[in-house]
Chain A
Amino acid sequence: MRRRLFWDRFFEKSFSLSAVLAVLILGGIFGMLLYNGLRAFGSIAPGYFFSLAEWNPAAYTAPSYGIGAMLTGTVLTTLGAMVFAVPVGIGMAFFVSEIAPPRARAMLKPAVEMLAAVPSVVVGFLGIVLVGPFLAGLFHLPNGLNALNGAILLAVMALPAVVTVADDAIHAVPHTYKEASYALGANRWETLVRVTLPSCYSGILAAVMLGMGRAIGETMTVLMATGNATAFPNGFFDPVRTITATVAIEMGEVPAGTPHYFSLFACALVLFLLTLIVNVLAERITSNLRKRGQ
């Protein structure tokens, strides 16, 4: 008996130790980001950092650290991606959960999972060899590496997230609502648009937020397909550089401890906070949904 109690206590302690370790490590990421990122603001004024000043930290005489252009790049590509991914993603979600016959659903859900599994570098690659030339030909551009290309590719990456979460939200709508609608003589489409859709607005919103989070955080796709110009973009046909790409590109060349080094951490911090806010909002919405459902 003593031995059994000993092992019971031993494993309890071991498990709690692992949990503490895991939490410490993961928390350490945030801590380190915060520490190094804030050190950047020792030599760079925050107002200046977020301004539209040029991003040229390696300049010999007057290095400048404005991320305004890159923030715009991130925003452009993300919003562009959402404009496409939201209607298509929600449309597909409705198709899969409400219209498609069970056999089609059984094939479509794995297809979406497959799309989600495609590595970002592969999508970026296709942006260079497929989408880029297509856009260049269509719009008579020198090459197709611009914000529009990035937006399309990000849409492809965000779609699975939107579809999956929206599908869950639509499924959560109680059967009884739909049955009541049919009983009143409404047809399928009317029920869908006027009963089902309004019942899951928040879930759909959460799906959009998650898709957006995915798009904001993407690195390789935009790195490969957006042309990486640090100048301020004037439109979708201009090359842009996102914050993620900046960090990825300059990470390797920057000596540790310099303002440039810390400014990259500041960029990463901005990214971290952006995606955190988006994810937390999405989470709040879905947990409210769950609470109301009970």
Chain B
Amino acid sequence: MENYILEIRQLNLFFGKKHALKNINLGIPKNKIVALIGPSGCGKTALLRTMNRMHDLNPEVKTTGEILFDGHNVLHGNTNPVQVRRHIGMVFQKPNPFPKSIFDNIAYGLEINGMRKRENVRDAVERSLRCAYLWEEVKDELNKSALELSGGQQQRLCIARAIAVEPQIILMDEPCSALDPISTAKVEETMLELKQQFTLVVVTHNMQQAQRVADYTAFMYLGALIEFGETDKIFGQPEHELTKNYVQGHFG
């Protein structure tokens, strides 16, 4: 059995009356990349956002079940979402750098998590920018506004920002869908490097991308988890009929 860093058990999610996630049971293996695929509306983003308590922002959402991380239930009322998000980070579909300098974008996360000394901050900023393959491009312009970067660079900055606080898991919600092919390639390269240090869960509607980067793939349909397994198996010899139809492009 793989070593699971995150275990989702009997997860159900309701948007008001709508039953959006139906009894999900899923284990996320450590230091691997897991792709969540499925047609629009299948619940993959909803599932992703449950893992770091982002649904707290929406009063209409109710969840039942557990998500076990490091011995604690992420979804429990007593669990502090601020702590959860420190350890489970997120990169969004549309790059969302703060309207600050490149340096300050990354420094922000470090400062609120207690890093005071300037040298430590500078080192951490450099480390995360290197990890995100952005250092060479911006090292001389760290004080430039992040908004002046290209879309692909902004997204890599957001990845660097997320890495800087040293989470254990990084959730990525269609991180390349707003990017051009070259930037996409760079981000995918970053993702493959990142898995040495982190565990990645990536929502993607691009099946080729899933095959390129993911070790494991989960296929979802209408709020339920249909099949989960090694990527090669899901795409090569899927067990479930629905999975087979989806990966062969019969519906999208």
Contact = CB atoms under 8 A, between A and B. Distances in A.
Contacts of B112: 4
Contacts of B80: 5
A4 B80 CA distance: 12
B82 interface: yes
A138 interface: no
A114 interface: no
A111 B80 CA distance: 53
A1 interface: yes
Nearest to B86: A1
B78 to A, nearest CB: 13
Interface in B71-85: 80, 82-83
Interface residues of B, number: 4
Interface in B103-134: 112
Tell me the interface secondary structure of chain A in the complex: helix
B122 to A, nearest CB: 23
Tell me the interface secondary structure of chain B in the complex: helix
A5 B112 CA distance: 11
A5 B81 CA distance: 11
A5 B83 CA distance: 11
Contacts, number: 6
Interface string A47-88: 000000000000000000000000000000000000000000
A12 to B, nearest CB: 13
Contacts of A4: 82, 112
B7 to A, nearest CB: 25
A102 to B, nearest CB: 26
Nearest to A1: B83
Contacts of B83: 1
A5 to B, nearest CB: 7
A138 to B, nearest CB: 58
Interface string A204-247: 00000000000000000000000000000000000000000000
Interface string B83-108: 10000000000000000000000000
A136 B82 CA distance: 73
A5 B78 CA distance: 14
A4 B112 CA distance: 8
Contacts of A1: 82-83
Interface in B44-85: 80, 82-83
Interface string A1-24: 100110000000000000000000
Interface string B23-42: 00000000000000000000
Contacts of B82: 1, 4-5
A269 B80 CA distance: 50
Nearest to A3: B114
B85 to A, nearest CB: 13
Nearest to A8: B82
Interface in A69-118: none
A4 B83 CA distance: 11
A225 B180 CA distance: 67
Interface string A142-178: 0000000000000000000000000000000000000
A11 to B, nearest CB: 14
B244 to A, nearest CB: 40
Interface string B154-198: 000000000000000000000000000000000000000000000
A1 B85 CA distance: 13
B110 to A, nearest CB: 14
A190 to B, nearest CB: 42
A1 B83 CA distance: 9
Contacts of A5: 80, 82
A5 B80 CA distance: 10
B112 to A, nearest CB: 7
B152 to A, nearest CB: 33
A208 B112 CA distance: 51
A17 B82 CA distance: 24
B167 to A, nearest CB: 16
B84 to A, nearest CB: 12
A192 to B, nearest CB: 38
B128 to A, nearest CB: 21
Nearest to B80: A5
A5 B82 CA distance: 9
A239 to B, nearest CB: 58
B165 to A, nearest CB: 13
A4 B86 CA distance: 13
A57 to B, nearest CB: 54
Interface string B207-225: 0000000000000000000
A184 to B, nearest CB: 37
Nearest to B112: A4
A1 B87 CA distance: 14
Interface of A: 1, 4-5
Interface of B: 80, 82-83, 112
4 nearest A-B residue pairs (beta carbon): A1-B83, A4-B112, A4-B82, A5-B80
6 contacts: A1-B82, A1-B83, A4-B82, A4-B112, A5-B80, A5-B82
